[in-house]
Amino acid sequence: MDNFFMLFSLFSLLLMIPLGIFCYKLVRKLFDVTENLNSFIENVEVIYYSIDEFNSHLQHFNTLPSYSGEPVIAGLIEHSKEVMEDIDNFVGNLPENAKEEKEK
């Protein structure tokens, strides 16, 4: 009976070591994915603000007397607004925990 418990304990220990290594590697990979996702969200925010600045510049340009009402500039303004809406929708579809991690 003592041999059974000793063999069972040895078998359990031999199973726990690979399981522990697997869990460690899994947690490391999850941290890497989280870092990559946070970096991606930061890049999306930079693009969003760049487009917002571009839109502001176009709106200012459109108010100048020589370009007032220019259809090409009006089209660019409308297109930049659509791109900003697309980015908002994209960020809105990100997992909630990714957005919460970014806010921390």
Express each pLDDT in 44-93 by its tens digit: 888 888 888 888 887 887 777 877 777 888 888 888 888 888 888 887 77
- Residue 19 above 90 pLDDT? yes
pLDDT band at 97 (very low <50, low <70, confident <90, very high): low
In terms of phi and psi (left: phi > 0; alpha: psi -120 to 50; beta: otherwise), the region of 95 is beta
Looking at every residue in the chain, the average pLDDT score rounds to 82
Q: HSE (CB half, 13 Å, CA atoms) of 54?
A: 17
pLDDT band at 17 (very low <50, low <70, confident <90, very high): very high
**pLDDT at position 88, please?**
81
Give the contacts of 8 (CB within 8 A, at least 6 positions apart). none
The answer to whether 36 touches 58, Cβ cutoff 8 Å, is no
pLDDT band at 100 (very low <50, low <70, confident <90, very high): low
3-state secondary structure the chain: CHHHHHHHHHHHHHHHHHHHHHHHHHHHHHHHHHHHHHHHHHHHHHHHHHHHHHHHHHHHHHHCCCCCCCHHHHHHHHHHHHHHHHHHHHHHCCCHHHHHHHHC
